[in-house]
């Protein structure tokens, strides 16, 4: 059995031996994306599992028990889900490790990993190593390396995930044969995973797959009836994770809306770009700027490939490139506003409005620090500049009840309906 | 002909409206539903059977609790704000805005310009539920509260964001003899402030305003406050006749667009909407059977004190009085703890009257054979009662509770006390009170919590609690705020939970709140091995059992659980055996008189609300003060580094050494400016700008800015910034300078050196939300003070672009700025050192009051610094000692500069026997969720006490005093400063 080794600060390391023996748990956020990422890691010899325990109440209770209750809701859920899994009896507690992401910014989220370790200590499982996934070079482990090829592969997973999510959201509400879209999503997941096993990572392949994916989705038989489009933005975890947002996407869809969820790749580019912006604002190493610039360019290239593929089919709405989001944010927030989702969140709202998606749910954990500024703090301005924007801010935390959240979303939807009607009447008047 | 029916099912009431084709109202009703939602709605519909029988009706349901009913019965639904807007459009087409208050919701609809609708977010402060809660606190009904309010003379500032905060504001006023009339009006004013602050967010409330909803319909006092605050008159304040059922009316109007069905079918659907989905989330029962319950009762009956017969006893006795926040408790005990007399009752808002009556009763019972040889008072009303009746001793609650608990279990190491609205728990370490935890953020999990539910469901609290004892399916309601709990209960009821299931579930949720939210324990061993529980709430067997189950261990509940404070005080008096017992004699009580007069202290900018109590025409006692100024005593001013820093910074305005020729530049005196002012002041005055600093915050600063605060959960220091900006605009500056700073100074002590997101980017929020900033030159550039060389260059470019200042000139000014900043920091450290020496000369305990630089703002710290001084303690700050230790890695990511200082200061405190740390935590400060646990670990590992104090816009210092006095008591108990 692998020996427990610590670094000079007493942090338990994930060793090379552990890599051979241990099962690694990944908390869930975006099922399509994370599923593929798991495969990438497995291919590199990490025996990992994405968690599927989704009992929100039980997980939140565990979170409350082991994490300071004033900490943000995503921390409660992520840590709750991991500990719930450890307690499930499915894994040998002496042969299991945990993955957690660390963004490394000035937001509390960079502390999740430490809160997780504190929680493990409280739960008497200090022997379980925790591996940080980050781009800042925080916390190195001999048994796990964030190599450039791995980073690039993860980027592939993200853009694949994004394009599938994007197209599925545009097809699902209109499909003639119920379930066809989800079946196609499943088929593509499986196919991509198989390709990953064979090592299918090249820009060429990416472009080809994008074309095939879009073509496949275009084949889904659809009847396009007018539906309100509702955008979802917010703190990254509650924005995406059904566990975090009480299954928001499903709810919106059941209410008859087409859901528009901006993709994950912008967030990745945003986090890379922040380093570049820092040098511009405060000075610093030109070399750093070049290195991050190169990485950013590569990811943007992947994003552009996705946009190009979607554009070939006029029935689909392609996402905007990152550079466009940057332009949108100007005049609202500085490029230095980088903690949490930073200016990107506001830019996403602006992009949605520009794209005709005036109805937006801005999600955040209760008391989310960056969102005071970039979410709730910008709604007033947006309303001034775009009087038709219809934005509702929804807080998520263990105590917030679904009934309250849904009632507020319903108001937003009622307004959406009214505005549609007014627009239609206006048109009628003109034609008359 | 087809009728239109609107059914509004809100959080507490059901409203039904029937309209004919011409929108003429044929019927309307308004009733409380006590959570029997469907039944009530159907019942009201049946009232109109004669009219609708056999007719076709179009029906729309609305309201927060209506969604489920509509879904289950397949009846159309519209959102209630939308419905209300429809009704207003139809009946009051020239309205400019609507303000609607409901049971748990507050809404504003703006009609003028672009239609905009707002609802309160995740907090239910300032709604009907809040008013009900406050009425309960004053021991009156809502209509009585209304009547009282109409006779007010004075308005006190009361926080309305949450019942708990309001309660902490109201309690001291009550305990100090404030008039109920004034408090009632203040409660309504708080609702008005909350509505305006929370919902207008920068939009003006002017023109014709329509007031809707139950509370505004029924409560004249509330209306009056709104009209006065918004400066409305008869023509602009509209209170429609059917204001309480406007949403139902709107639903009926909306029904036009929905299909019709037969009346019988509607009734049928409504009644059949009872889908028994079955309870999904239940917990283990409290007791499996009657026998288990009997065994439990027998076990707890053992922890009882000797009860003596006062008639047959003669000799010495000791009196303990616990003047609690809502109840008064009194115990007369013998020296060895036998109880001769006890009293427990509501203080009905005036503890003096109660104590007077009971004391007379005691004297009568004692006659000549029992002599009261000592008396002690504890609790919120300690000082008032002590002064009123000349009691010998006063002691802090924690010490009283510990003294009593020790009587039942000498090895006690953990005490938890849950009262009506307070929860206190603490550990006992080396015979001293340690690690006090209070429910500062929330009153969920206290007695009144269950009580308000019992009432809402139409039960008496005693019967209600008992219902759950033998229930087999307690519903899991989680742990959360009363208001949110309402919706959880609603959800459970929808799933078919019985009252019994809910009763048991609520009892357990009280326990969970205590354990996970207040104590934050992960395992029973975190609490202790010998646990004593007390307080009125634990007299509820369901709560007690739930507690034992949750921690997996039996605990001691004395049969006098509700009297422990008073009992402890009596024992304390017996221990002390005062030489000259001074309690007012029976004869003196006969002529006892008490008058209370409220006034505002003008001693300083705190403007404390004082109450001047006069006893027997002569003796005076002033309460509500934070310092000793109004008492007219001249006391020695103890060293206070908060004050020193504030005075230093306040002086940094004007032209300085320059001539001010380049214009007046305004700096808002809040957040980061508290740290960087020396730099900016020197920099700008060097460049011949006149620096205009907004005045030091007071309550008015908050009020002046509150309209434009977009997020009501952001910290109070940030909220104040809106007022500072308004002030600067009023002062007429040429530009306002408030830079964004992701990074703070790198002091080389942590893993990074960030500011928190709010401090870093609040300037951008202000720019987007304060409407008047559009008319002022507002400069909020990103600056990086952590890289002096780059900053010099970048800021040179900035000043050249903005003001045409030559870059060379700026470069020199920047250097001078850095030098001034360093000089200021050095001076703080040097002065801190002097204060420490002065304290040591006099043998005083030194408190390191740790927080952020902006916590020295008196409106943010509410005078806690002076309070600390008043207890004989010397006060220094974290930033004057944090440099005394070397860098060390932490178990959290140590990435914020200010927070890193606190960790280091705590480490230093651990090395100094005569120092203790008190941490100020702003409510809503996300980073402190991380620092509090880490600081606790550092301090407790170092053998120190950890004392966090949560602060917000409230200025009640009651809880703070308990903590600080317990700290002082513990330091003494642990052997002083040796």
Task: Give the tens place of pLDDT for each residue, B520-557.
Answer: 676 667 788 899 999 888 888 999 999 999 888 899 99
Q: How confident is the model at residue B126 (pLDDT cuts 50, 70, 90)?
A: low
| Residue B762 sits in the same domain as residue B653 | yes
Q: What pLDDT was estimated at residue B977?
A: 46
Does the pLDDT at position B270 exceed 90?
Answer: no
Q: B interface mutation test: which of A407, A409, A415, A422 has the most B CBs within 10 A?
A: A407
The tokens of A417 are what? 């309906």
Specify the number of domains making up chain B: 7
Contact A369 B929 (CB under 8 A): no
B contacts of A122 (beta carbons < 8 Å): 522-523
Chain A: residue nearest B105 by CA? A404
Q: What pLDDT was estimated at residue A314?
A: 95
Alpha-carbon span B488 to B481, nearest angstrom: 10
The tokens of A271 are what? 């986090």
Q: Where in chain A is the domain with CATH 3.40.50?
A: 16-145, 227-263+319-432
pLDDT in tens, B389-447: 999 999 998 899 999 999 999 999 999 988 776 788 888 887 888 777 776 655 555 66
Burial call B267-288: b when 16+ CB within 10 Å, e when fewer: bebbeebeeeeebebbbebbbe
Q: Mean pLDDT by 10-residue block, N- to C-terminus, for chain A (432 residues)?
A: 87 93 94 90 91 88 84 92 95 95 79 91 94 84 89 92 97 96 94 81 91 97 92 95 94 94 95 90 84 92 97 95 96 93 96 95 91 92 90 85 80 84 73 51
The tokens of A136 are what? 């800042």
Mean pLDDT of B799-816: 97
* B328 domain-assigned: yes
**Among A355, A419, A346, A431, CA closest to A388:** A419
Please list the helix, strand and coil fractions of chain A in percent, rounded to the nearest 5, in that order: 55, 10, 35
* Residue at token pair 């207003």: B88
Alpha-carbon span B960 to B14, nearest angstrom: 42
Torsion-angle region of residue B367: left (phi > 0), alpha (psi -120 to 50) or beta? Answer: left
* B302 domain-assigned: no
| Residue B806 sits in the same domain as residue B659 | yes
A contacts of B765 (beta carbons < 8 Å): 372-373, 377-378
Which of B226-235, B333-342, B485-494 shows the lowest per-residue confidence on average (mean pLDDT)? B485-494
Q: Is B279 on the interface with A (CB under 8 A)?
A: no
Q: How confident is the model at residue B636 (pLDDT cuts 50, 70, 90)?
A: low
Torsion-angle region of residue B933: left (phi > 0), alpha (psi -120 to 50) or beta? Answer: alpha
| Residue B547 sits in the same domain as residue B614 | no
pLDDT in tens, B152-192: 988 887 776 666 567 767 776 776 667 889 999 999 998 88
* B636 domain-assigned: no
Q: What pLDDT was estimated at residue B164?
A: 59
Most confident of A151-155, A427-431, B32-36, B708-712: A151-155
CA distances from B801 to A264, B798, B804, B943 (A): 38, 5, 6, 55
CB neighbour list of residue B393: distance below 8 Å, 6 or more residues apart: B374, B375, B376, B377, B386, B569, B572, B573, B576, B578
Does the pLDDT at position B963 exceed 50?
Answer: yes
CA distances from B261 to A241, A302, B267, B779 (A): 41, 56, 10, 62
Residues 437-466 of B with CB under 8 A from A: 441
* B455 domain-assigned: yes
Alpha-carbon span B298 to B961, nearest angstrom: 38
Distance (Å) from the C-alpha of residue A266 to the closest C-alpha of chain B? Answer: 20
Of A122, A373, A404, the CB nearest to B764: A373
> What's the whole-model pTM score?
0.87
Cα-trace Rg, chain A: 22
Contact A106 B760 (CB under 8 A): yes
Does the pLDDT at position B495 exceed 70?
Answer: no
The tokens of B886 are what? 């070397």
A contacts of B892 (beta carbons < 8 Å): 111, 114-115, 118
Per DSSP, helices labelled H in A283-375 are 286-311, 322-329, 342-354, 369-374
Q: What pLDDT was estimated at residue A239?
A: 95
Chain A: residue nearest B516 by CA? A65
Alpha-carbon span B526 to B514, nearest angstrom: 13
Which of A46-50, B129-133, B303-307 shows the lowest per-residue confidence on average (mean pLDDT)? B129-133
Q: Provide the domain limits for residue B432.
A: 423-555
The domain spanning residue B188 has which CATH number?
3.30.420.40
| Residue B102 sits in the same domain as residue B230 | yes
Please provide the size of chain A in residues.
Answer: 432
| Residue B803 sits in the same domain as residue B844 | no
- Could you list the beta-strand ranges (E) of B94-136: 97-101, 106-110, 116-119
Q: What residues pair up with B433 in beta bridges, in sequence order?
A: B428
Q: How confident is the model at residue B627 (pLDDT cuts 50, 70, 90)?
A: low
Q: Does the complex come out with an ipTM higher than 0.90?
A: yes
Does the pLDDT at position B35 exceed 80?
Answer: no
| Residue B57 sits in the same domain as residue B41 | yes
Beta carbon pairs, A and B, within 8 Å: 220
Domain A227-263+319-432: which topology?
A: Rossmann fold (3.40.50)
The CATH class for the domain spanning A16-145 reads alpha beta
pLDDT in tens, B221-258: 999 999 998 889 888 999 998 888 889 999 999 998 88
Alpha-carbon span A368 to A376, nearest angstrom: 10
| Residue B261 sits in the same domain as residue B214 | no
Residues 136-155 of A with CB under 8 A from B: 138
| Residue B626 sits in the same domain as residue B659 | no
Mean pLDDT of B84-108: 87
Q: Is B794 on the interface with A (CB under 8 A)?
A: yes
Of B711, B718, B742, the CB nearest to A339: B742
Alpha-carbon span A253 to A248, nearest angstrom: 9
User: Which H or E element spans position B877?
Assistant: strand B874-877
Does the pLDDT at position B76 exceed 60?
Answer: yes
* B149 domain-assigned: yes
| Residue B671 sits in the same domain as residue B790 | yes
* B281 domain-assigned: no
Chain A: residue nearest B768 by CA? A381
The domain spanning residue B879 has which CATH number?
3.40.50.11900
Q: What pLDDT was estimated at residue B978?
A: 41
Q: Is B893 on the interface with A (CB under 8 A)?
A: yes
* B13 domain-assigned: yes
| Residue B389 sits in the same domain as residue B451 | no
| Residue B435 sits in the same domain as residue B539 | yes
Alpha carbons within 13 A on the beta-carbon side of B786: 22
CA distances from A377 to A307, B133, B188, B396, B711 (A): 30, 31, 28, 43, 7
Q: What pLDDT was estimated at residue B499?
A: 86
| Residue B815 sits in the same domain as residue B843 | no
Is the model more confident about B347 or about A19?
A: A19
Q: How confident is the model at residue B348 (pLDDT cuts 50, 70, 90)?
A: low
The tokens of B404 are what? 């009593």
* B133 domain-assigned: yes
């Amino acid at each position: 059995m692998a020996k427990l080794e610590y670094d000079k600060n007493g942090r338990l390391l994930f060793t090379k031996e552990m890599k051979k023996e241990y099962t690694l748990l990944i908390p869930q956020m975006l099922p399509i994306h994370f599923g593929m990422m798991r495969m990438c890691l497995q291919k590199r010899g990490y025996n990992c599992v994405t968690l599927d325990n989704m009992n929100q109440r039980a997980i939140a209770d565990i979170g409350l028990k082991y994490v300071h209750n004033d900490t943000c809701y995503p921390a409660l859920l992520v840590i709750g889900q991991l500990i719930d899994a450890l307690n499930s009896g499915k894994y040998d507690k002496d042969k299991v490790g945990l993955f957690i992401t660390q963004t490394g910014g000035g937001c509390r989220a960079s502390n999740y990993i430490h809160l997780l370790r504190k929680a493990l200590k409280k739960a008497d499982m200090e022997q379980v190593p925790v591996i940080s996934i980050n781009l800042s070079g925080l916390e190195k482990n001999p048994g796990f390396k964030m190599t450039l090829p791995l980073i690039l592969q993860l980027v592939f997973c993200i853009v694949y995930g994004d394009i599938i999510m994007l197209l599925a959201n545009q097809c699902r509400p209109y499909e003639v044969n119920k379930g066809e879209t989800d079946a196609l999503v499943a088929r593509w997941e499986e196919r991509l995973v198989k390709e990953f096993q064979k090592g299918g990572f090249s820009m060429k392949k990416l472009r080809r797959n994008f074309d095939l994916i879009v073509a496949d989705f275009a084949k889904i038989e659809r009847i396009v009836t007018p539906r309100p489009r509702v955008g979802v933005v917010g703190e990254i975890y509650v924005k995406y994770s059904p566990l975090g947002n009480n299954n928001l996407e499903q709810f919106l869809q059941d209410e008859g809306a087409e859901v528009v969820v901006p993709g994950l790749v912008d967030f990745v580019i945003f986090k890379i770009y922040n380093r570049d912006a820092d040098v511009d604002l405060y000075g610093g190493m030109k070399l750093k700027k070049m290195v991050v610039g190169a990485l950013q360019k590569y990811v943007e290239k992947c994003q552009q490939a996705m946009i190009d593929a979607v554009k070939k089919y006029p029935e689909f709405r392609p996402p905007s490139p990152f550079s466009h989001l940057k332009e949108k944010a100007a005049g609202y927030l500085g490029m230095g506003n980088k903690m949490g989702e930073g200016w990107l969140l506001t830019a996403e709202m602006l992009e949605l409005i520009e794209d005709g998606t005036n109805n937006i749910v801005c999600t955040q954990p209760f008391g989310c620090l960056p969102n005071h500024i970039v979410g709730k703090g910008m709604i007033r301005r947006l309303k001034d500049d775009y009087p038709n924007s219809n934005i509702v801010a929804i807080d998520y935390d263990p105590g917030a009840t679904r009934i309250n959240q849904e009632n507020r979303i319903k108001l937003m939807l009622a307004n959406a309906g009214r505005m549609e009607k007014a627009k239609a009447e206006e048109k009628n008047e003109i034609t008359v | 002909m087809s009728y239109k029916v609107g059914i509004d099912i809100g959080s507490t009431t059901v409203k039904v409206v029937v309209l004919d084709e011409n929108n003429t109202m044929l019927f309307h009703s308004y009733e409380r539903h006590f959570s029997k939602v469907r039944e009530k709605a159907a019942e009201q519909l049946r009232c109109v059977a004669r009219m609708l029988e056999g007719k076709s009706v179009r029906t729309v349901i609305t309201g927060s609790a209506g969604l489920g009913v509509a879904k289950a019965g397949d009846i159309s639904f519209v959102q209630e704000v939308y419905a209300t807007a429809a009704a207003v459009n139809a009946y009051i087409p020239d309205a400019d805005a609507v303000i609607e208050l409901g049971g748990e919701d507050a809404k504003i609809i703006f009609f003028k310009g672009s239609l905009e609708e707002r609802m309160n977010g995740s907090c239910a402060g300032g709604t009907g539920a809040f008013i009900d809660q406050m009425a309960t606190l004053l021991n009156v009904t809502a209509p009585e509260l209304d009547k009282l309010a109409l006779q007010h003379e004075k308005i006190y500032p009361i926080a309305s964001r949450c019942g708990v905060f309001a309660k902490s504001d109201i309690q001291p006023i009550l305990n100090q003899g404030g008039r109920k009339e004034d408090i009632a009006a203040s409660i309504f004013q708080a609702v008005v402030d909350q509505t305006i602050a929370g919902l207008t967010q920068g939009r003006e409330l002017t023109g014709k305003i329509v007031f809707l909803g139950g509370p505004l319909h029924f409560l004249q006092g509330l209306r009056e406050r709104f009209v006065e605050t918004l400066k409305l008159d008869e023509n602009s304040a509209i209170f429609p006749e059917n204001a309480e059922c406007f949403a139902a009316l709107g639903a009926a109007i909306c029904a036009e667009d929905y299909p019709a069905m037969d009346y019988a079918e509607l009734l049928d659907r409504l009644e059949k909407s009872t889908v028994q989905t079955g309870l999904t989330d239940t917990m283990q029962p409290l007791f499996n059977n009657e026998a288990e319950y009997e065994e439990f009762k027998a076990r707890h009956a053992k922890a009882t004190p000797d009860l003596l017969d006062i008639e047959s006893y003669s000799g010495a006795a000791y009196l303990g009085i616990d003047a609690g926040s809502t109840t008064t408790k009194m115990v007369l005990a013998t020296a060895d703890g036998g109880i001769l007399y006890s009293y427990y009752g509501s203080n009905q808002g005036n503890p003096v009257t109660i104590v007077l009556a009971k004391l007379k009763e005691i004297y009568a019972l004692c006659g000549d054979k029992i002599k009261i040889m000592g008396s002690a008072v504890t609790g919120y009303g300690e000082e008032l009662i002590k002064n009123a009746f000349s009691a010998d001793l006063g002691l802090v609650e924690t010490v009283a509770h510990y003294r009593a608990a020790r009587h039942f279990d000498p090895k006690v190491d953990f005490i938890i006390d849950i009262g009506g609205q307070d929860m206190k728990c603490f550990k006992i370490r080396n015979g001293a009170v340690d690690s006090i935890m209070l429910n500062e953020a929330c009153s969920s999990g206290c007695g009144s919590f269950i009580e308000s539910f019992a009432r809402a469901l139409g039960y008496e609290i005693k019967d209600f609690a008992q219902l759950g004892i033998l229930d087999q399916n307690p519903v899991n309601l989680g742990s959360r705020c009363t208001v949110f709990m309402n919706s959880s209960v609603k959800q459970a009821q929808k799933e078919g939970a019985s009252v019994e299931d809910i009763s048991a579930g609520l009892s357990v949720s009280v326990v969970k709140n205590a354990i996970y939210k207040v104590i934050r324990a992960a395992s029973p061993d975190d609490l202790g091995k010998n646990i004593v529980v007390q307080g009125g709430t634990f007299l509820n067997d369901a709560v007690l059992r739930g507690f034992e189950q949750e921690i997996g261990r039996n605990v001691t509940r004395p049969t006098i659980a509700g009297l422990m404070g008073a009992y402890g005080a009596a024992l304390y008096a017996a221990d002390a055996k005062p030489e000259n017992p001074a309690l007012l004699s029976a004869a003196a009580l006969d002529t006892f008189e008490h008058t209370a007069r409220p006034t505002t202290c003008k001693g300083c900018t705190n403007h404390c609300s004082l109450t001047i109590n006069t006893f027997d025409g002569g003796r005076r006692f002033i309460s509500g003060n934070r310092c000793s100024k109004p008492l007219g005593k001249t006391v020695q001013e103890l060293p206070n580094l908060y004050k020193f820093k504030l005075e230093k910074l306040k002086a940094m305005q004007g032209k300085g050494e320059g001539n001010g020729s380049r214009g007046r530049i305004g700096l808002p005196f809040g957040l980061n400016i508290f740290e960087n002012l020396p730099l900016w002041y020197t920099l700008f005055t060097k460049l011949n700008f006149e620096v205009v600093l907004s005045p030091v915050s007071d309550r008015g600063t908050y009020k002046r800015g509150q309209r434009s605060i977009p997020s009501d959960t952001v910290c109070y220091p940030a909220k104040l910034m809106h007022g500072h900006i308004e002030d600067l605009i009023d002062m007429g500056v040429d530009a306002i300078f408030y830079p964004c700073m992701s990074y703070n100074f790198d002091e080389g002590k942590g893993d990074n050196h960030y500011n928190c997101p709010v401090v870093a980017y609040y300037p951008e929020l202000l720019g987007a939300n304060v409407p008047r900033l559009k008319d002022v030159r507002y400069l909020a550039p990103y600056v990086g003070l952590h890289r002096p060389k780059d900053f010099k260059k970048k800021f040179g470019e900035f000043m050249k672009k903005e003001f045409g200042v030559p870059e060379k000139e700026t470069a020199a000014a920047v250097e001078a700025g850095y030098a001034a900043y360093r000089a200021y920091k050095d001076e703080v450290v040097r002065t801190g050192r002097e204060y420490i020496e002065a304290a040591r000369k006099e043998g005083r305990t030194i408190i390191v009051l740790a927080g952020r630089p902006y916590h020295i703002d008196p409106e943010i710290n509410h005078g806690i610094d002076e309070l600390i001084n008043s207890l004989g303690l010397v006060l220094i700050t974290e930033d004057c000692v944090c440099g005394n230790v070397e860098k060390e890695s932490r178990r959290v990511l140590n990435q914020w500069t200010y927070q890193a200082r606190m960790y280091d200061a705590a480490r230093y405190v651990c090395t100094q026997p005569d120092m203790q740390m008190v941490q100020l935590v702003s409510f809503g400060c996300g980073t402190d969720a991380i620092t509090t646990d880490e600081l606790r670990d550092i301090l407790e590992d170092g053998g120190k006490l950890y004392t966090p104090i949560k602060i917000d816009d409230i200025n009640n210092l009651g809880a703070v005093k308990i903590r600080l006095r317990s700290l002082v008591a513990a330091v003494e108990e642990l052997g002083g400063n040796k």
